[in-house]
């Protein structure tokens, strides 16, 4: 059904006005497990795990107004207000201000921005199935602080908050059907500021002003919003997956949301991802659960016989269908994919599925890229010869993680950092990490997490025991709770040593020089275990740390050729030869991986190898791959 203009009138139907899509309705489930659910060929919403249901996008033109005097709450705009402007959702507050700048007459730089959005939609059809289903409104990402009203009623999100904090991950509101009117209005208040204690990555703040490597803020209504049907008693669309490849075992972590306590059955079916609609499960198992009202995490383990492993050369994926079945046989279902893989840091090397792997990486800053542009970037990075993409302190559309799974691209993800080191900034950092983990714990492509980058938000890491204690606590938590990931404490320099033990799975360094001779000197110092005079700041702080080859060394940023601060403009040919020479020196030494800076240009950083809009390369394909170089060296040794 085609989409129509999102501004609704009373006479328009819900299906016509909001592009209702019917993926699959819930159904009665037979005792033998039945067939697997049909696969959706394309994920239409910015989420990793799918739910077979009816949904309707609420994207498009919304009413819009700035509220720089913060009058809206006092004057109860959510009960009725004449909004003077319009804005297209999704889109950032900054974009909407720019589009209405002639009418708004506000300065370009704002210490704090408060914006209100509102749209109408007609009442959807009344739900059936004996009261087993409800409506839910989900925001793909919005913030940093978001309040939502439906018909003047302040909504409380599923986590129990009246204000949602964060701007990188989805959040949802369950809707009481009795509160829906023939014509409904949805009101959203978004607040964002230059607060340095808020996770923001490389966006400007009170500490770092725009320019150089500090970018224009990009906040607000940044991803889609939709209305969907969900079951009262269901599995949430956040799933953790850990593989035990030696035994072909997969450990799933499901979250149940129950409004009617009782006895339930969790049924898990595993299929080949490319199997047809009537495919027979490769594995199936039932798990009886007695569930109370509320939310609960539940781990279950299933064996996938003769499992094929996931890796960049063979990104083999399986499909899971998980059903929560009540005593009457009614099923609530979610569906997703996973891959079996194991990542380890042992001695000087990294091992994927017990095979040594070298990381040919590239730094990726998506900035304001659309989903389609990000897809083009991913394919281009693969074409460059990369097997790893370091998504640099930013949140991205979750479908990109799924795309990386399908392409066989390893991902290194990072928590968007605050810009000051305080108790509040650390708590905000922890909450942002937990929000990210909840939504991308499924993807086999994600292998590395950075907690901090170059001590942004942890500037006192070398002098403040509380800062180090917090980072160590999170590192230990990650290693116990998420053993499927490698974790870096503070990428680039100033890694933490406690009692001589490095609190990072890898010793990473950011090395920038345009001079080949100096590059060789830096690499020699790094691999010799020198902790000072290599990166901008000492590589390790805290207790004494003696590198003896017990940790993989990663040059996690280098190059930047073309950016004025890292070597100045270069022609495409000069840059190509420079990269080849620098990569050759990397592979001569005991280094486990490298990350070239960077994929695309972004604002003042003019050092990209890929056109931001088209995805075309400005250098030869395969330039960042060292496989051919290593094979040539091996042939020479064997000859």
Domain end call among 338, 364, 385: 338
Complete DSSP assignment for 231-299: ESSEE-S--EEEEEGGGTEEEEEEEEEESS-EEEEEEEEEEETT--TTPPPSEEEEEEEEE-SEEEEEE
Domain end call among 172, 205, 231: 231
415 with 281, same domain: the answer is no
Report pLDDT for 104. Answer: 65
Rounded average pLDDT per 10-residue block, the chain, 639 residues: 31 39 39 37 84 92 94 96 95 89 64 94 81 93 96 96 94 92 96 95 91 89 94 95 95 97 98 86 97 96 96 97 96 96 97 97 95 96 98 94 97 96 97 94 97 97 98 98 97 97 98 96 97 96 96 97 84 93 96 97 93 96 82 48
Whether 3 is in a domain gets the answer no
> How far apart (Å, rounded) are the C-alpha atoms in residues 364 and 600?
7
Q: Which domain holds residue 469?
A: 343-635
> How far apart (Å, rounded) are the C-alpha atoms in residues 324 and 332?
5
570 with 629, same domain: the answer is yes
170 with 287, same domain: the answer is no
113 with 193, same domain: the answer is yes
Report pLDDT for 61. Answer: 96
| Residue 283 belongs to domain with CATH number | 2.60.40.10
DSSP 443: -
How do beta strands 446-453 and 145-150 pair?
unpaired
382 with 325, same domain: the answer is no
Whether 158 is in a domain gets the answer yes
- 436 three-class SS: helix
Single pTM value for the model: 0.91
Which among 265, 386, 373, 409 has a CA at the least distance from the CA of 612? 373
Sign of the torsion formed by the C-alpha atoms of 192, 194, 197 and 200: positive
225 with 243, same domain: the answer is no
Query: Hey, how many other C-beta atoms are within 10 angstroms of the C-beta on 455?
Result: 22
Whether 281 is in a domain gets the answer yes
580 with 522, same domain: the answer is yes
> How far apart (Å, rounded) are the C-alpha atoms in residues 222 and 149?
18
Report pLDDT for 443. Answer: 96
Report pLDDT for 629. Answer: 61
> How far apart (Å, rounded) are the C-alpha atoms in residues 540 and 490?
10
> How far apart (Å, rounded) are the C-alpha atoms in residues 395 and 21?
27
560 with 578, same domain: the answer is yes
Inter-CA distances, 291 with 33, 262, 287, Å? 21, 6, 12
As a three-state string, the secondary structure of 469-534 is HHHHHHHHHHHHHCCCCEEEEEECCCEEEECCEECCCCEEEECCCCCHHHHHHHHHHHHHCCCCCC
264 with 361, same domain: the answer is no
Domain end call among 283, 314, 338: 338
72 with 114, same domain: the answer is yes
Whether 444 is in a domain gets the answer yes
As a three-state string, the secondary structure of 77-128 is HHHCCCCCEEEEECEEHHHHHHHCHHHHCCCCCCCEEEEEEEEEEECCCCCC
| Residue 606 belongs to domain with CATH number | 3.20.20.80
Whether 8 is in a domain gets the answer no
> How far apart (Å, rounded) are the C-alpha atoms in residues 131 and 273?
33
239 with 250, same domain: the answer is yes
| Residue 147 belongs to domain with CATH number | 2.60.120.260
Whether 39 is in a domain gets the answer no
72 with 197, same domain: the answer is yes
Report pLDDT for 98. Answer: 86
Whether 23 is in a domain gets the answer no
Report pLDDT for 37. Answer: 37
Q: Cβ(89)–Cβ(60) under 8 Å?
A: yes
Domain count, the chain: 3
Whether 123 is in a domain gets the answer yes
Report pLDDT for 107. Answer: 59
> How far apart (Å, rounded) are the C-alpha atoms in residues 223 and 368?
11
- 38 three-class SS: coil
């Amino acid at each position: 059904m085609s989409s129509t203009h999102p501004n609704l009138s009373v006479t328009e139907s819900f299906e016509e006005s909001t592009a209702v899509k019917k993926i699959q309705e819930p159904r009665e489930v037979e005792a033998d497990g039945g067939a697997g659910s049909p696969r959706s060929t394309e994920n239409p919403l910015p989420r990793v795990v799918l739910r077979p249901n009816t949904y309707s996008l609420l994207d498009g033109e919304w009413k819009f107004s700035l509220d720089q005097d913060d009058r809206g709450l006092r004057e109860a705009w959510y009960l009725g207000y004449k909004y003077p402007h319009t804005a297209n959702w999704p889109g950032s507050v900054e974009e909407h201000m720019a589009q209405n700048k002639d009418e708004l007459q506000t300065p370009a730089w704002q210490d704090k921005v408060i914006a209100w959005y509102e749209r109408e939609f007609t009442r959807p059809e009344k739900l059936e199935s004996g009261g087993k289903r409800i409506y839910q409104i989900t925001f793909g990402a919005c913030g940093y602080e978001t309040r939502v009203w439906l018909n003047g009623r302040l909504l409380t999100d599923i986590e129990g908050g009246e204000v949602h904090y964060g701007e990188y991950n989805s959040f949802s509101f369950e809707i009481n059907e009795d509160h829906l009117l023939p014509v409904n209005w949805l009101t959203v208040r978004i607040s964002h500021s230059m607060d340095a204690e808020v996770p923001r990555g490389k966006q400007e703040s009170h500490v770092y002003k725009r320019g150089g490597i500090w970018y224009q803020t990009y906040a607000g209504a940044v991803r889609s919003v939709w209305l969907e049907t969900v079951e009262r008693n269901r599995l949430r669309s956040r799933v953790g997956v850990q593989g035990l490849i030696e035994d072909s075992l997969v450990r799933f972590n499901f979250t149940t949301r129950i409004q009617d306590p009782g006895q339930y059955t969790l049924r898990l079916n595993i299929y080949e991802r490319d199997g047809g609609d009537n495919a027979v499960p490769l594995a199936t198992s039932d798990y009886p659960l007695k569930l109370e009202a509320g939310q609960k995490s539940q781990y279950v383990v299933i064996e996938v016989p003769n499992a094929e492993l996931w890796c960049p050369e063979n990104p083999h994926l399986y499909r899971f269908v998980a059903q929560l079945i009540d005593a009457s046989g009614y099923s609530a279902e979610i569906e997703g994919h996973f891959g079996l893989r194991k990542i380890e840091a042992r001695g000087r090397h990294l091992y994927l599925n017990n095979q040594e792997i070298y990381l040919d990486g590239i730094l990726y800053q998506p900035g304001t890229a659309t989903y389609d542009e990000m897809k083009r970037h991913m394919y281009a990075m693969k074409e460059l010869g990369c097997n790893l993409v370091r998504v640099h302190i930013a949140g991205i559309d979750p479908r990109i993680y799924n795309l990386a799974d399908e392409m066989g691209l390893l991902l290194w993800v990072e928590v968007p950092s605050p810009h000051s080191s305080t108790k509040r900034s650390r708590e905000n950092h922890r909450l942002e990490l937990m929000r990210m983990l909840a939504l991308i714990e499924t993807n086999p492509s994600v292998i590395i997490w950075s907690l901090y980058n170059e001590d942004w938000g942890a500037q006192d890491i070398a002098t403040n025991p509380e800062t180090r204690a917090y980072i160590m606590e999170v590192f230990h938590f990650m290693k116990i709770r998420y053993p499927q990931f490698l974790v870096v404490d503070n990428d680039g320099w100033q890694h933490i040593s406690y009692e001589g033990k490095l609190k990072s799975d890898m010793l990473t360094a950011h090395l920038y020089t345009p001079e080949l001779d100096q590059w060789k000197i830096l690499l020699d110092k790094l691999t010799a275990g020198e902790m000072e005079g290599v990166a901008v700041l000492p590589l390790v702080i805290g207790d004494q740390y003696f590198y003896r080859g017990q940790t993989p060394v990663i040059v996690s940023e280098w190059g930047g050729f073309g950016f004025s601060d890292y070597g100045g403009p270069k022609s495409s040919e000069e840059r190509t030869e420079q990269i080849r020479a620098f990569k050759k020196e990397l592979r001569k030494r005991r280094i486990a991986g490298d990350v070239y800076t960077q994929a695309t240009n972004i604002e003042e950083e003019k050092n990209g190898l890929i056109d931001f809009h088209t995805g075309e390369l400005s250098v030869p394909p395969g330039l960042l791959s060292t496989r051919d170089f290593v094979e040539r060296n091996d042939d020479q040794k064997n000859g």
